Amino acid sequence: QTSQAEVVVFSVPSYACQRRSTLENHNAVLTDALALLAENAELSEEEGRGVAFRRAAAVLKALPRPVTSMTELRGLPCLGDHSLRVIKDILENGASSEAESTKQSERYKALKVLTGIFGVGAKTADRWIREGILGLQQLQESGQTLNRAQQAGLEHYDDLNQPVTKADADVISEIVERAVVSVLPGAQMTLIGGFRRGKLSGHDVDFLITHPEEGREVGLMPKVVSWLESQGFLLYQKTTRNSYLESKDGPGRPSSNMDRFERCFSIFKLTEKERRRTKHPETATENGLRTVSTPEPDPHSRVQISERSRCEDEELEVDQTKQAGHKLWRAVRVDLVVSPISQFAFALLGWTGSKLFERELRRWAGHERNMSLSSHALYDNKQRIYLRATSEEEIFAHLGLEFIPPSERNT
Ligand code: GTP
Ligand code: MN
Ligand code: MN
């Protein structure tokens, strides 16, 4: 027990982009509850409330030890009345009644299940719920028209709702690398998103592709996609064209936070064969690469492997899968983005995340520096010039922020 006089006062800067947030979290019970309420707000299209809960959770996550009393929170930024109520409830009663009742609510559960379908957002889910559709079975029976993304999402629902491991992300990196160098020698590919921040699992794998010679990246995405398609790696893909140059938005004032790079939302088919091809089998085994249901009794898996390596034919593979009682591949969401080298540093910073870190960077730029930051550029509204950068470090310097490496952007 700490007496009033000894109460530790934590000091945390107000913007998440001023803090070093590793994957470590000493206040998971508190932040889990706040994250759930944030998610519920986002799924209910109450963005402001969602951000408020996210910011509060990020502050608690930045603390060097568990919070034990409300007095320790004095002077901390971003903790609104609502968040403080939730925290108090947990400290006093062990759980947040609001978070618990939200988690149990039919609406939240339905929103989770329905938005768990790739291609289904909060709006669509809400419409379906109002029509009485609360689950996958009801959705299928309803005869609702699904777009191509949603059909693929439903088809691969279980796989896509299973976390992607770092080991599988590495396997996919290798495939994308092969694709990129095959279609444009000299082109470069970088792992972005959560895996660049050092996360051990994620909901997808994100890549940024560029070429050191400006302009050579033009038309690259369709070629990469064709290559992947021809090799049978894609279960689904939708490519959207770069519209940055054509945009009517003023300089540094994009109409939304959505960027305008050429990008591809895809679903990869990751096979056992590809998993075994990886150059680092030791890491692969250590990280539990295997998701095949048999826990690898050695002689057994030998047989399977030798059988499998011979099967080039899809049908034979499917047949064996059925016999073995499990399939020999999984679906994985993969995002590809192509950027010209002149915008690479901005794209890299903008796509590494976390989402809150990105949001806070833009808020810092606007509110504290009168600058506009996007995944394409940094514009100084006062001097009316674009600030060039060839590295993330330079962008932080332009913004007057201490450099925070990717592994410490896990807000
Ligand atoms: P998980 O995939 O859930 O493990 O986490 P993640 O951090 O990788 O999230 P996600 O793949 O959704 O996004 C990766 C980064 O890309 C985040 O920083 C997002 O802010 C950013 N991002 C996602 N979509 C867009 C977009 O349309 N435009 C821009 N500029 N950034 C985006
Ligand atoms: Mn990701
Ligand atoms: Mn992504």
Assess whether the C-beta atom of 194 lies below 6 angstroms from ligand 1. yes
Query: Does 257 score more than 80 pLDDT?
Result: no
Q: Across 236-245, 254-263, 270-279, 391-400, which has the greatest mean pLDDT?
A: 391-400
Query: Does 284 score more than 60 pLDDT?
Result: no
Assess whether the C-beta atom of 202 lies below 6 angstroms from ligand 1. yes
Query: Does 246 score more than 70 pLDDT?
Result: no
| Mean pLDDT across 106-120 | 98
As a whole number of angstroms, the distance between CA 268 and CA 224 comes to 13
Q: Say yes or no: domain 106-155 is CATH 1.10.150.20.
A: yes
- Per-residue pLDDT tens for 19-50? 999 999 999 999 999 999 999 999 999 999 99
Please give the residue that has the higher pLDDT: either 277 or 191.
191
Q: What is the pLDDT of residue 220?
A: 95
371 DSSP β-pair partners: 380
Q: What is the pLDDT of residue 305?
A: 40
Catalytic residue among 32, 204, 259, 313: 204
Flag the least confident range among 89-93, 264-268, 293-297.
Answer: 293-297
Residue type, 7: V
158 is catalytic: no
Q: What is the pLDDT of residue 244?
A: 55
CATH code reported for the domain at 157-290+303-411: 3.30.460.10
Residue type, 337: V
Q: Do domains 4-102 and 106-155 have the same CATH topology?
A: yes
Q: Which atom of ligand 1 is nearest to the CA of 374?
A: 30
The candidate with the shortest Cα–Cα distance to 267, out of 159, 388, 370, 408, is 159
Q: For the whole model, what pTM was predicted?
A: 0.87
Query: Does 256 score more than 60 pLDDT?
Result: no
| Mean pLDDT across 269-273 | 96
CATH superfamily for 4-102 is DNA polymerase beta, N-terminal domain-like (1.10.150.110)
- Per-residue pLDDT tens for 321-330? 667 677 899 9
Other C-beta atoms lying within 10 Å of the C-beta of residue 165: 20
CB 283 within 8 A of CB 275: no
Catalytic residue among 158, 206, 319, 380: 206
Question: What's the complex ipTM?
Answer: 0.98
From 355, 359, 411, give the residue whose CB has the most ligand 1 atoms within 8 Å, as the site to mutate: 355
Q: Could you tell me the distance, in angstroms and rounded to a whole number, from the CA of residue 375 to the centre of ligand 1? A: 11
| Mean pLDDT across 361-376 | 98
Q: Which atom of ligand 1 is nearest to the CA of 355?
A: 20
Q: What is the pLDDT of residue 261?
A: 82
Residue owning tokens 């003023």:
250
- Alpha-carbon torsion (184, 186, 192, 195), positive or negative: positive
pLDDT tier for residue 364 given thresholds of 50, 70 and 90: very high
Assess whether the C-beta atom of 193 lies below 6 angstroms from ligand 1. yes
- Whole-number percent of the chain with pLDDT over 70: 82
| Mean pLDDT across 117-134 | 97
pLDDT tier for residue 253 given thresholds of 50, 70 and 90: very low
What are the extents of the domains in the chain? 4-102, 106-155, 157-290+303-411
Q: What is the pLDDT of residue 9?
A: 80
Residue 84, Cβ density class (10 Å: 0-12 exposed, 13-18 middle, ≥19 buried) = middle
- Per-residue pLDDT tens for 151-176? 999 999 999 999 999 999 999 999 99
Q: What is the pLDDT of residue 326?
A: 79
From 165, 166, 199, 206, give the residue whose CB has the most ligand 1 atoms within 8 Å, as the site to mutate: 206
As a whole number of angstroms, the distance between CA 96 and CA 152 comes to 37
For residue 17 the two structure tokens come to: 């982009």
As a whole number of angstroms, the distance between CA 130 and CA 138 comes to 13
Flag the least confident range among 18-32, 38-52, 60-74, 269-283.
Answer: 269-283
Flag the least confident range among 249-263, 294-308, 378-392.
Answer: 294-308
As a whole number of angstroms, the distance between CA 378 and CA 372 comes to 6
Q: Could you tell me the distance, in angstroms and rounded to a whole number, from the CA of residue 406 to the centre of ligand 1? A: 13
As a whole number of angstroms, the distance between CA 189 and CA 339 comes to 10
Q: What is the pLDDT of residue 254?
A: 45
